[in-house]
Amino acid sequence: MKNIILAATFASLATLGYSQDKPAQEPPKTEAAAPMAGDWKSGTLSLGAQQTESDTISSKFMEYREVPNGVVAPYFRFQGKKNDLRYDFIGENVQQTDQRFRMRLGEDKWKILGDYNRIPHNFGNAGRTLLQETSEGVWEMSDSLQRTFQNTLEATTPRSLINYPFLLALVSPSLASANQVDIKLSRERGNVAFVMSPSDPVEFRVVYSRERRTGSRAAAGTAFGFGNVVEVPEPLHYLTEDFGAEGQYEGSWGLLRGGVHFNRFGNKIESLTFDNPFRGVDSTDSGAYQAPGSASVGGASVGRMALPPDSESMIANASVMFKLRNRTRLTADVAIGELTQNKSPFQAYSTNTAIVSPLVAANPASLPARNLDGKADITSLNLYFTSQPVKDLSLTARFRGYEFDNQTPRTTFPGYVRFDGYWNATPRISVPYSYKNDRFDATVGYRFGNLALEGGFKHIKMERTFRETEDTKENGVSVSASLHTSDWLVLRGSYEKADRDFEHLEIEKSEHASFAGPASVTNLLAVSPTALQTNGQPLCAAGTICNLRYDQSRKDSERIGAHVALSPNDKVTVSAGYLRTDDDYKESAFGLISARFDSLSIDVDFTASEKANVYAYYSYEKLADFQVGRQSGATPSTNPLDNWTSTVDDKTTSLGAGANFVLVPEKWFLNLSGQYQKVDGNNALFSAPGGAPSLSRVGIGGVQSIPLYDDMKIATLQAEAKYQFSTDWAFSVGGWFEDYEFKDVATNGLTNYLPASFFLAANDGDYSAKVGYVRFTYRF
């Protein structure tokens, strides 16, 4: 058996060159360190059997894990030292979809570090669709069924009869026997690093990391218009690789580091193509983006959306740390890089061959450019200073500057195709957004015996291109205190206040950034209606409210925190903390108006004796935000009755407890634990009677609040008993029970066809599951 496990180990490690993660790290100390003198070897091998039972096929039970039935190999580790060579191999969940392997091999002057981690993500099981994947990225349905639906719609008169009940009756028989699909992906991440230390102050490192993703996830944007959304799985088959070389030199004066990394992203599937259930032959008319309905039954027979394109980046970095007098440290880090994207060709204007403007929309040759020719320069600078010039006085200062300078040329398009249905001759131009972010903060601290005080200041500046404001600035101050009243009691408290403002406001800069010619303001944003633009002119025409989006508007922030830790004796530890954050967008008329977060946590640990330890924890979090919007049609509304408000309250309660017992010293052990979490969300919606939101919902009693808003409950109970036969052998028997409930008005009861939408309606809801296992562990 040992030889089989070792063979599986090295076979898995051989795949390290085919996945990615962060640069390899030293393996965690999962066992007591073995003696270092002379040659030695040790190991741990755990094998067992497991049985699982679940009452549903919900993907949520195994969203990020595999819980298999039958023989399992949850853990092994082999380590040792032969002459000067040290080796360490660790494996978890061998042969499962969530397996992981780590390794370390080397001597004093060199070492090889490796990590391979496979992570599943199950989004939903047994979704239904009229389409099926005929090749990677291509989803098709029966041609005869497409034509049948099209002929039925074209023969229906008057068109006003084409409504949701009519369409539901049309597609339901086919959906009842439709194709079933599971939406899931696999992430294979790994890295390998070669580290060489020819002398104590010098170290060189060459690293390679790789992440491969395959499978699918729910697609966004697969639609033929407002009346025909077609959800299909988005195919994934891409690879991210990173090659790097790093070096460092450490001396009595400080530390010097530098490196360069080359990263590339490659996607084997350039686009997602999907059939239109209601059209077998292309057609076009001005109302096709509203089909199928009273306005039109036209449109494209096939839709297509571009997937993430291939790209590359090169980043070089250097850092230096100086050790100065009076416990002073000065650190500087700088990085420069370039991102490029020019290999993937543009998609054609449309798949619709019936559109012949401006030339032939389905012909890529009619585009003004064939590739993006994308390029962005990145510059990052970090400075850090810390000092203790005299006893009890501490000083810190930090600066971080980051610039994303988008050098991609602008491309003008004579128009665009609306949902593959109709050519819109409004010229548009691409927008290469850029930004620059600078942050500076400094603190001064002083200790008066048991009392430590600290005060701080921060300044954040954000500059943007193609946005309404040229820049925003945020200034804040903070104070904190820490009191050690005795050896067993610690009290801490903190308070921070900040405000943000904007400069150089030009409201049309963002509204018109993607228009090749003049156009009217079409968005209701978020600023005081009395504010003026940089040129001294009013924001918008009289009677129109113009505002900034929340990330640029004026904001006041407050943050308060408190923490207490008690250790009255060596058996009991109690800690509690509270945090509150308030954001107030005080001059906003629309959008996010306020946001508040509260958090309370309590932890207790009690060690009754060497044979018993008990712990428990509790936390309560509340997230609340308030938003205002206005419902408009093709022309922005100026009627306050068309306003609506949304007040969201999310409350999360988490608690857990556990106990570890030594029933018979060195023989019998018992571990118990349990966790429970409840999320209670509510979205209180309101709109005044007589306005557009209220009038459009007269048939359902007006605007309705949403009491089931991401409501969730999950409870887990675990138990394990362990018998230690000897110092080498141990037997464990255990199990766990998990119960999950999810209630949300947007997903609970979701069917495959709702007004204007085909949904996969995959199962990711409630489940109740039980798992039992036995394991043998051998140590040598």
**194-229 pLDDT tens trace:** 999 988 899 999 999 999 999 999 887 799 999 999
- Residue 510 confidence (pLDDT) above 70: no
CA dihedral 417, 421, 423, 427 (to 10 degrees): -30
User: E strand or H helix at 732, and its extent?
Assistant: strand 729-743
Q: Is the pLDDT of residue 8 over 60?
A: no
Least confident of 302-316, 527-541, 609-623, 631-645: 527-541
Strands 100-106 and 374-387: unpaired
Sheet bearing 271-275, strands edge to edge: 132-135, 138-140, 271-275, 302-306
Taking 80 as the threshold, does the pLDDT of residue 540 lie above it? no
Residue 12 pLDDT level (bands cut at 50, 70, 90): very low
Does the pLDDT value for residue 542 go beyond 80?
Answer: no
CA–CA dist 510, 453 (Å, integer):
45
Sheet holding 757-758, edge to edge: 229-230, 757-758, 753-754
Q: pLDDT tens digit string along 81-123?
A: 999 999 999 999 998 999 999 999 999 899 999 999 999 999 9
Cα dihedral across residues 237, 238, 239, 240: positive or negative: negative
Residue whose token pair is 């979090």: 621
Region of 466 on the Ramachandran plot (φ > 0 left; ψ -120 to 50 alpha; else beta): left
* Percentage of the chain modeled with pLDDT above 90: 75
Residue 59 φ then ψ, to 5°: -70, -15
pLDDT tens per residue, range 464-508: 988 878 899 999 999 999 998 877 899 999 999 999 988 877 766
Q: Is a pLDDT exceeding 90 seen at residue 24?
A: no
What gap in Å lies between CA 355 and CA 346, rounded to an integer? 18
pLDDT digits (tens, 9 = 90+) for 386-407: 999 999 999 999 999 999 999 9
Model confidence at 511, in pLDDT bands (50, 70, 90)? low
Over the chain, what is the mean pLDDT?
89
- Which residue has better confidence, 635 or 696? 696
What whole-number distance in Å separates Cα of residue 539 and Cα of residue 555? 19
What pTM did the predictor assign?
Answer: 0.86
Task: Calculate the alpha carbon distances from 599 to 12, 557, 559, 580, 583 in Å.
Answer: 43, 16, 12, 6, 15
Per-residue model confidence (pLDDT) at position 545: 46
Mean pLDDT of 572-592: 91
pLDDT band at 699; cut points 50, 70, 90: confident
End-to-end CA distance of the chain: 14
Give residue 518's pLDDT band: very low, low, confident or very high (50, 70, 90).
low
User: Would the pLDDT of 683 be above 70?
Assistant: yes
Task: Report the pLDDT value the prediction gives residue 747, as an integer from 0 to 100.
Answer: 78
Q: Look at residue 36 in the predicted model and tell me its pLDDT.
A: 53
Of 239-243, 513-517, 688-692, 718-722, the one with minimum mean pLDDT is 513-517
Copy the structure tokens of residue 313.
């980046």
pLDDT, position 537: 63
Average pLDDT of the residues in 344-368: 86
* Domain map (residue ranges) of the chain: 433-589
Cα distances (Å, whole numbers) of residue 741 to 64, 673, 679, 710? 17, 20, 10, 10
| C-alpha to C-alpha distance for 402 and 381, rounded to whole angstroms | 7
- Report how far residue 14's alpha carbon sits from residue 6's, in angstroms, rounded to the nearest whole number: 12
Query: What is the sign of the dihedral through the CA atoms of 215, 220, 225 and 226?
Result: positive
